[in-house]
Amino acid sequence: MSGYAVVDVEATGRSPWRHRVVEVAVVQLDAALRTEREFATLLDPVGPVGPTHVHRIAQEDVVGAPRFRQIAPALLELLAGRVLVGHHVTCDRAFLEREFARIGVVLPPVPALCTMRLARRLLPQAGGFGLSACVEAAGLGWFPAHTALGDAQATVELLRHCLRSGAAAEEPVPAAAAVPWPRLGPARSRGRVSLLRRWTPLGPWPAGVEGPRPLIGAAGYE
């Protein structure tokens, strides 16, 4: 199995050492950039959720959400053997590394692609190089910013735009497939782990509206 794992995290603050992941999303792509699977859930950060005005996640939204350890085995399987992709991917990787380190798992060094770096070369006309500015400069349309799945999906479209424009100088997929990954047994809990996914609207959020509210979906795993 090989391809790309496009990731995005929302966190309780800016420091991977002092803050926690409160939402994570992964979109798996095959080597031809076709979507294979999407995964997203809010997480219980075991403390304050942080800047609600940025990520639009309130404290009550994470009640009943899984903790990182509960979804860690599934997350490892989603990432294993794939090129790690993100918009400013070093930030997303740093938060994931710290969350895994807290439960005794060391992430291996894997090939990574940063859509921010790609956009700096291909979209010099962008007013900035945050995800929203790059998506707008590429003409990719609206997306629900600062939701983990919305950002990951937008990063997927930006990645496709950049790679199909010939941005990559080398093919990282075979190298990623050869990297050995750790495995992790399930957390000590009974039954299925229920994921808590945010509902995202089909259009822009009106001014003054706090954004989407979470709904407990049927998604889960053993």
CB 172 within 8 A of CB 118: no
Structural tokens at position 95: 């938060």
Q: What is the pLDDT of residue 47?
A: 96
β-bridge pairing 112-114 and 82-86: parallel
User: Which residues of the chain fall below pLDDT 70?
Assistant: 1, 167-170, 189-191, 199-222
pTM, two decimal places: 0.89
Q: Quick one: angle between helices 68-79 and 89-102, nearest 10?
A: 130
pLDDT of residue 134: 94
Contacts of 98 (CB under 8 A, 6+ apart): 16, 17
The mean pLDDT value of the chain amounts to 87
End-to-end Cα distance, the chain: 22
Q: What is the pLDDT of residues 116-125, one digit of tens each?
A: 999 999 998 8
What pLDDT score does 164 carry? 85
- The pLDDT, as a whole number, for residue 191 is 63
